[in-house]
Structure 1
C-alpha cells in the first residue's frame, strides 16, 4: 500500500535534488521533551533512549546535540530538548512510560527537515542566518534555534559540510524556495526551476 502522506516539500523534491546540495528528510519522528536533566526521571529516559553512557549520563548542553546514528537529541533551551529519530521508529513507544516531571509531546507532523551538504552548504546558509557558522564557532554537533531568512528554525550541523534545517511545515515552502535562490551561485549547469 502506498504511503498516503505528502511531505511539505514533495512538490519541490526535484528542484531540491537538482541542486546537488539539498534534499528534504520528511517524516522524521520527533518529540519535544521538557524536564530537569538532573532529575532521575530524565536520567531514566536518557538511559532508555540511548543505551550506553552518551545520554544516560547527561543530556546535551547549550548549543549542542547528543547521540549518534539516526537517534539524537538537540538542545533547544534550558530543560528543553528535541529528540529525533528515523521515520517510523519506536520513539513513540519509548516515550510512553510514565515519567513524573517530564513532558514529552510528539511534534513529528509539525516540522520537516531540509538537509544541505557539500562544500558550499555553509555559504548558502550564511546568506540568511545571523549566526556565525565558522567552524571555530559552529561545528559538527552544534545546534541552535535561530532565524533563517526570517523563518524560525533549528539548525543542526551533523558533519563538517552537512547541516539539517528543522522548519515548521507552514514555512517549509517559503524557506525551501529561499534556499534554492540562495544556492543559485553554487550550482553547476542549468538554473534550477523553482
Structure 2
C-alpha cells in the first residue's frame, strides 16, 4: 500500500506554491505612489474561485444558492455576497464565486466545488447545472487609490466613471487586448482578474500604466 502523505509533507508542498505574479511583487511595491494622484498595486493570491453554471429561477439555481448561502446575481454587472463568497455575474447562466480574502491560501476549491455540486443531486438524477473549481484559472490584482480608475482607463474601453460603474459591480471586458474581469470593490479600489497565463503581461502593463502618477505634475 502507498504510504499516507503526512500533514508535514503537505505543509512543505504548500510552501512551494507560487502565485502567477509572484515575480512582480517588488515591481508592484515600487510602482505605488501616495497623495492626490496616488495608486497602489498588489496581487491577491490563492483566492478560492468556483465556476457556477445554472439558469436563474430554476431548481438547480435554488439548490446552488442554498448550498452557497448567497443568491446568484440577477444581471449584467451585478454581484452578490454571502456564505464567505462574492458572486460575480459572467453571463445569463454563468457565475464566478470568489472566496473572501481571509480564506486565501487554504486550498478550499476542490472541497467547496464538490460540496456545491452535490447540491445538484446524484449522477443520473442531477439537476441541470455545474460547479467546478477554478481557483488556479485566474490571477487577481488589486488597484487602489485616487488614480486607480485613471490607470485602468488607459486600457479598458468600458466607462468606469462612478456614474456608470458603481462599487460592487463587476464586468467582463478587455484590458490591452486581454480578456479580464474588472470588479469594483470600493470607491477607489478595483480588482482585475485575467487568466493566470496572462498574469505576467497584465501585471507589467499595470506597472507601466502607473508610471505617469509617480512623476511630479508640471504646470
Structure-2 separation of matches of 1:151 and 1:76: 16
Partner of 1:67, secondary structure, is strand
What is the CA–CA distance in structure 1 between the aligned matches of 2:93 and 2:144, rounded to whole Å? 30
- For 1:178 and 1:64, how far apart are their aligned partners in 2? 27
Q: How does 1:139-178 map to 2 (within 5 A)?
A: 139-178=166-205
Distance 1:71 1:89, change over 3 A: farther
Between the aligned partners of 2:189 and 2:110, the Cα distance in structure 1 is: 27
Match of 1:118 in 2: 145
Aligned to 1:102: 129
What SS class does the counterpart of residue 108 from structure 1 fall into? coil
Q: Distance in 2 between matches of 1:67 and 1:165?
A: 18
CA drift of 1:60 comes to: 3.8
| Unaligned stretches of 5+ residues in structure 2 | 1-10, 33-39, 121-126
Q: Distance in 1 between matches of 2:83 and 2:64?
A: 18
Match in the other structure for 2:159: 132
Checking the alignment, whether the CA contact within 8 Å between 1:48 and 1:94 is kept in structure 2 is no
**Take 2:189 and 2:95, find their aligned partners in 1: how far apart are those partners?**
21
> 1:44-59 maps to which residues of 2 (within 5 A)?
44-50=63-69, 55=71, 58-59=72-73
Q: Given the two structures, how large is their TM-score scaled by the length of structure 2? A: 0.78
| Structure 1 position 131, deviation (Å) | 0.4
Instruction: Give the equivalent residue in structure 1 for 2:88.
Output: 74
1:84 offset after TM fit, Å? 0.7
Relative to the length of structure 1, the TM-score reads: 0.87
Gap runs ≥5 in structure 1 = 190-194
* 1:46–1:59 CA contact under 8 A, matched in 2: no
Q: Which structure has the greater CA radius of gyration?
A: 2
For residues 127-151 of structure 1, what are the alpha-carbon distances to aligned partners after superposition, in whole Å with 9 as ceiling and x for unaligned? 0000000000011111111100111
